Structure 1
Amino acid sequence: MKKILFKNAKIVTDGVTKEGDVYIEGDTIVEISESISAKNADTVVIDLEGNHLLPGVIDDQVHFREPGLTHKATIATESAAAVAGGITTYMEMPNTNPQTTTIEEWESKMAIAARDSHANYSFMFGGSNNNLDEILKIDTSRVPALKIFLGSSTGNMLVDDKEVLREIFSNVKLRIALHCEDEETIKENFKKALAEYGEDIPMDQHPVIRSEEACYLSSSGAVELAKETGARIHVFHLSTGKETALFDNKEAIVDKQITSEVCIHHLWFSDEDYAVKGKFIKWNPAVKKASDREQLWEALLDDRIDVIATDHAPHTLEEKANPYTSCPSGGPLVQHALPAMLQFVHDEKITIEKVVEKMCHNPALLFDIEKRGFIREGYKADLIVVDTNNPWTVTKDNVLAKCGWSPFEGVTFKSRIMQTFVNGELAYKNFKVTETKNAQELSFVR
């Protein structure tokens, strides 16, 4: 059993940063103390020299494109990019090909991850207009959540039958993760844009087409239905300030019936960036106004928004080069999400403890993940070593996502992920992903 002793660390967990040592055996954190001596001669001692030691990030929303869309990405390539970004655990979405709407397809994806994944893995089950029988077969100790698209996006898994949606909300006890955009509003806005611009709609029209109204109509309806039926819902990727009023901070996250998430791109970019970034910041829901971004920040900091995620959704450069009507929405983010949030720490927009709460602790608590998301004795040794004063610049050459590009190209981050450990094994060090794959399937305590 491998034994590792981290010395002289700034340990960030449970809302505080404290100096000390962490000792692990195998895949488990065994001891945390101000000072620990090597237990025996075969203990590997790693002197962190005052660098930060964080729990591995848990990303509750990624699209790794396998099976069926492997020209864009694979579980192997994107999980490698994830560990390079300090993400040790992910929850992957069901809009692959075939869609993950049957137990058989869900098991097939689990088998691929067991063979190929660099990071701990789980897969959300997809809801559709006609698969309630399959949904009710879910093993809730192995599935993080049910995913429902209330607005169409890549994969066309739209659930638009209101009676089916009510039945799902009324019968499913698992947390339900939602993509909220009103389809009819989007269609009407798109029709107007097409009439005005033709096929080559300017990218800055994306937040006009996929508008604030489209988001709010859908998310407010979902929140109302959840309150009526008692469903536990998690609203993905909030993009508007108006939506933040739907959520409260009166309860601890473990007691919240209705929770929400914001993604890196909605905290970093605004509609002012379309002029330069264009198609590379085309996401669903759309990046909106700077005023929306500020209201999202306010809600994140006062705990109306519970989780920070990536919605990592890569497409090839060739696909992104298409005109608006055929340019897919989404982009790669797992490698740069934590460095981006640590940039905000440098800017004193947020504390490092709050980043860890939103990216590590809260996803673990919200989805009932067993023994991950914290640096605690008895927990899994998913750990990242971060040097917060070691600048580096994002270039095409150091992007690990299979698509080969990033919306952050040219950005210099002040913080660098030095090492990532997955279940006690080194998975990444200094821009190199190791060949060792020590990922584990997530388990959920429910």
Structure 2
Amino acid sequence: MSTLLIKHATIVNEGKKFIGSVFIENDLIKEIITNGELPKADQEIDADGLLLFPGAIDDQVHFREPGLTQKANIASESRAAVAGGITSFMEMPNTKPQATTHEILEQKFQIAATDSAANYSFYLGATNDNIEEILKTDPQTVCGIKVFMGSSTGNMLVDNEAILGRIFAESPTLIATHCEDEDIIRENTTIYKNKFGEDMPFKYHPVIRSAEACYKSSKKASELARKHGARLHILHLSSAEELELLDKNMPLSEKKVTGEVCVHHLWFTDADYDKYGARIKWNPAVKSEKDREALREGLLNSTLDVVATDHAPHTMEEKNNKYFSAPSGGPLVQHALVSMLEMVKQGVFSYELVAEKMSHNPAILFQINKRGFIRKDYKADLVLVDPNSSWEVAPENILYKCGWSPFEGTRFSHKVVHTLINGQLAYSNGKVNPSIRGERLVFDR
């Protein structure tokens, strides 16, 4: 048995912020102590002046393994996640081969069991012809079914109306969707390609992949979910209009249609394209300041439920292309939590909201077993943050395999000091412990 005591931290948990200590035994939180004598432990961390959060749970990442490992792999990106205070991730199926069968899905779980520094789960991808695989999904061991209702790689665009209806009617677990309407995007692409040719400025990305394209597709998904009683989670919402499609004014555990927002849609606006170009080219696109403000307000009023990353690295060589050749997506897991905490400093959010949207709510929404909270007998997935440690994102401190970040040159006021995975120090003072491995997430469904 090993024990660890985190002393005198400012604990941010379940809507409160208070001074306390956490006693950990093996992989579990055994006591949360706010007064009285502290127990002895094999190891102690003096957390005076530090914030203690439950580890962040990222419900949408692309770690590129298997088949796209020139960009990233599970080992490299899970270490970057742990360095950023993300202790659990759920990874997407558009790898090579695509995870559209349970045999391929289990191969990804086996890689993670060997290589992942963080806890993990993987989505099964939907296609127009794998409904039988979807129906075989065990909701207790697989986080969800991913349905691309917009652009994707390979054959993962699900556009067969009958199959979509069956997926929403019969899926044994949560459905997560990428929603952008293909017809609108194709029409806009033709217009702007004719206007600019290959030299189109990146600032037109949100005009091509417009709010209208997002709304039309998200509306279709929400209507299907309500018609069939499906549990729908719409990923990376990016426009003000889409928020009206979500369940509101009820506890998260009772919602049937929920929404995720990603850190880049909360941080950047279309005014940033001239400066950053391909580095902030994501699908769905970063949109207007009005959209960004609506997304921020959606978090504050609990219309939006979860903050995630859509971490999707590409090499800088791939990104250093003209608009139509540069791929969409960027690396974010190392800098998501600190960017949210920077928005706390800016007065946009509170520490309590960050814990709710990045830790508590993903655990509630996906019904994750004993994670996402600082509670007795829960897994000790924890992150200690120094709120007064200014640092700048630079190539020498970036852990992504691709070696770059859209936040390069940004100065953050909060710094992740320690990250615990299942009670073990997986990251401490700038170094990832190479021997720590995460666990497969289990779901109470």
Is residue 308 from structure 1 mapped to residue 307 from structure 2 by the alignment? Answer: yes
For residue 216 of structure 1, what is the amino acid of its counterpart?
Y
Stretches of structure 2 lacking an aligned partner (at least 5 in a row): none
Q: Is the 8 A contact 1:385 1:420 kept in 2?
A: yes
Query: What's the offset of the Cα at 1:153?
Result: 3.2
Match of 1:6 in 2: 6
For residue 14 of structure 2, what is the amino acid of its counterpart?
D
- Match of 1:147, SS state, is strand
Query: What's the offset of the Cα at 1:36?
Result: 6.0
Q: Is the 8 A contact 2:56 2:359 kept in 1?
A: yes
TM value normalised by structure 2: 0.98
Separation (CA, whole Å) in 2 of partners of 1:47 and 1:249: 41
Separation (CA, whole Å) in 1 of partners of 2:227 and 2:211: 24
- Match of 1:356, SS state, is helix
Q: Is the 8 A contact 1:333 1:406 kept in 2?
A: yes
Query: What's the offset of the Cα at 1:38?
Result: 5.2
- Match of 1:305, SS state, is coil
Is residue 337 from structure 1 mapped to residue 336 from structure 2 by the alignment? Answer: yes
Match of 2:264 in 1: 265
Match of 1:145 in 2: 144
Between stretches 234-243 and 29-38, larger displacement belongs to 29-38
Q: Is the 8 A contact 1:154 1:328 kept in 2?
A: no
Match of 2:23 in 1: 23
For residue 113 of structure 1, what is the amino acid of its counterpart?
A
Q: Is the 8 A contact 2:59 2:362 kept in 1?
A: yes
Change beyond 3 A, Cα 1:392–1:154: farther
Is residue 326 from structure 1 mapped to residue 320 from structure 2 by the alignment? Answer: no
Separation (CA, whole Å) in 2 of partners of 1:54 and 1:156: 40
Separation (CA, whole Å) in 2 of partners of 1:216 and 1:443: 33
Q: Is the 8 A contact 1:425 1:438 kept in 2?
A: no
Match of 2:129 in 1: 130
Separation (CA, whole Å) in 2 of partners of 1:236 and 1:363: 12
Query: What's the offset of the Cα at 1:422?
Result: 0.3
Stretches of structure 1 lacking an aligned partner (at least 5 in a row): none
Match of 2:105 in 1: 106
- Match of 2:249, SS state, is coil
Which deviations, in whole Å up to 9, do the C-alpha atoms of 1:315-334 show, x marking residues without a partner? 00000012111110000000
- Match of 2:425, SS state, is strand
Correspondences of 1:30-49 after superposition (within 5 Å): 30-35=30-35, 37=37, 39-40=39-40, 43-49=42-48
State the identity %. Answer: 55
Match of 1:200 in 2: 199
- Match of 2:146, SS state, is strand
- Match of 2:349, SS state, is coil
For residue 373 of structure 1, what is the amino acid of its counterpart?
G
- Match of 2:357, SS state, is helix
Between stretches 169-178 and 278-287, larger displacement belongs to 169-178
Query: What's the offset of the Cα at 1:438?
Result: 2.9
Query: What's the offset of the Cα at 1:425?
Result: 0.6
Query: What's the offset of the Cα at 1:163?
Result: 1.2
Q: Is the 8 A contact 2:137 2:173 kept in 1?
A: no
- Match of 2:233, SS state, is strand
Q: Is the 8 A contact 1:10 1:53 kept in 2?
A: yes
Query: What's the offset of the Cα at 1:155?
Result: 5.0
Match of 1:365 in 2: 364
Separation (CA, whole Å) in 1 of partners of 2:295 and 2:216: 18
Change beyond 3 A, Cα 1:396–1:156: farther
Change beyond 3 A, Cα 1:289–1:205: same
Query: What's the offset of the Cα at 1:35?
Result: 3.5
Separation (CA, whole Å) in 2 of partners of 1:51 and 1:80: 22
Separation (CA, whole Å) in 1 of partners of 2:153 and 2:49: 44
- Match of 2:368, SS state, is coil
Between stretches 156-165 and 397-406, larger displacement belongs to 156-165
Q: Is the 8 A contact 1:423 1:438 kept in 2?
A: no
Separation (CA, whole Å) in 2 of partners of 1:438 and 1:26: 14
Count the aligned residue pairs.
445
For residue 151 of structure 1, what is the amino acid of its counterpart?
G
Separation (CA, whole Å) in 2 of partners of 1:158 and 1:78: 26
TM value normalised by structure 1: 0.98
Match of 1:288 in 2: 287
Match of 1:395 in 2: 394
Match of 1:417 in 2: 416
Where has structure 1 moved over 6 Å in runs of 4 or more? none
Match of 2:87 in 1: 88
Change beyond 3 A, Cα 1:52–1:165: same
Match of 1:225 in 2: 224
Q: Is the 8 A contact 1:175 1:231 kept in 2?
A: yes
Query: What's the offset of the Cα at 1:348?
Result: 1.3
Q: Is the 8 A contact 2:117 2:438 kept in 1?
A: yes
Separation (CA, whole Å) in 2 of partners of 1:29 and 1:81: 24
Match of 1:68 in 2: 67
Which deviations, in whole Å up to 9, do the C-alpha atoms of 1:43-96 show, x marking residues without a partner? 212111131111000000000000000000000000000000000000000000
